[in-house]
Amino acid sequence: MKVGITLPCGGGIVSADAIYESARLAERLGLDSVWSTDRLLGPLDLKTRYPYTADGRMLRDPSQARLDPFVTLAVVAGATTGVALGTGVANIPYRDPLTTAKMVSTLDVLSRGRSILGAGVGWMAEEFAALNVPFSERAARTDEYLAIMKVLWTEKVPSYQGRFYRFGDVSFEPKPVQRPHPPIWIGGHSEAAMRRALRVGDGWHPTRLTPDAFAERVTVFRRLAEESARDLRDFTVSVKIGLDACRSPDVAREYQRLGVHHLVIDFWSDDLDTLRREIEFVGTRIAPAVR
């Protein structure tokens, strides 16, 4: 099983030093990936229920500082040489698909083929309202935007006629290094997210599922995969969890036993010294236990 970490893209220690040091330390320890999160705005009066906690409350204050995921990973690409660079997850309806496709392609070229597009539909209604994107269209837009990105990444002369975008007789260069395109891992643990992962993704990337909760959801996922006749031989099952839920190597081994291929550990540190210790713990205790 591969193991990665989230970068300090949000919270009290957002800084160039924290980003550089975290990424370089992860690579030095032999970890497989580093991940950025995606939040454009922080509503001061948040009404939308957060879908990944029992009480519907966000784990972090939404008004805290947040870095852009694509710019962050581009910076990290220049500071590292081998670690994979993932968005965990990018909210696909937030940006027009041609711009996102260009950012991902550029990241893949400049990192020499290390990008992973973790992709989600988004959940915060207030953010959609500020972006003037209808919340009710988020699933349809995600499906179309991902289809457009694949066309741009793979066709010599891309063209597309859809509900939201139409274009043709254009050039889109450079293509990504990875062929046919950078892997797309779909976030979320609902059946809709699982079906989207099986239909258009190269991986499934849910978050905040305990081993017991993951065991229940992966049973559903496998049933859906069988129903869809999706070949899973080159498909990645990944889970992002907080370090608070994975303080023992035995927990990581349990995810591995349940079929997880790539475990991503999330941190909530408020100081750089603590973050260093946590990354070292993952690199020296968690990762070796599942390799």
191 CA to centre of own chain: 18
Q: CA 251, CA 214: separation in Å to the nearest integer?
A: 12
Beta carbons of 63 and 42 less than 8 angstroms apart = yes
134 CA to centre of own chain: 22
Q: CA 183, CA 181: separation in Å to the nearest integer?
A: 6
| Structure confidence at residue 183 (pLDDT) | 98
Six-digit token string for 228: 């869809």
Tokens 């859809």 belong to residue:
162
| Domain total of the chain | 1
pLDDT at 154 over 80: yes
Bridge partners (DSSP) of residue 262 are 2, 238
Tell whether omega for the bond before 180 is within 30 degrees of 0, i.e. cis: yes
Roughly what angle, to the nearest 10 degrees, separates helices 249-257 and 211-228? 20
**Cβ of 234: how many Cβ atoms within 10 Å?**
8
Q: CA 35, CA 7: separation in Å to the nearest integer?
A: 6
| Distances from the Cα of 172 to the Cα of 36, 97, 143, 216, 263, angstroms | 25, 13, 20, 42, 33
pLDDT in tens, 177-212: 999 999 999 999 999 999 999 999 999 999 999 999
Q: CA 275, CA 269: separation in Å to the nearest integer?
A: 6
**Cβ of 106: how many Cβ atoms within 10 Å?**
16
DSSP H/E element including 206: none
Nearest to 264 by CA among 32, 1, 3, 22: 3
| Helix-, strand-, coil-residue percentages of the chain, each rounded to 5 | 45, 15, 40
- The percent of residues above 90 in pLDDT, for the chain, comes to 85
DSSP code per residue over 130-145: HHT--GGGHHHHHHHH
pLDDT confidence bin for 73, thresholds 50/70/90? very high
pTM for the structure as a whole: 0.95
pLDDT confidence bin for 99, thresholds 50/70/90? very high
Q: CA 190, CA 275: separation in Å to the nearest integer?
A: 31
Provide the CATH number for the domain around residue 64.
3.20.20.30
pLDDT at 12 over 80: no
pLDDT in tens, 110-126: 999 999 999 999 999 99
Q: Which domain holds residue 33?
A: 2-289
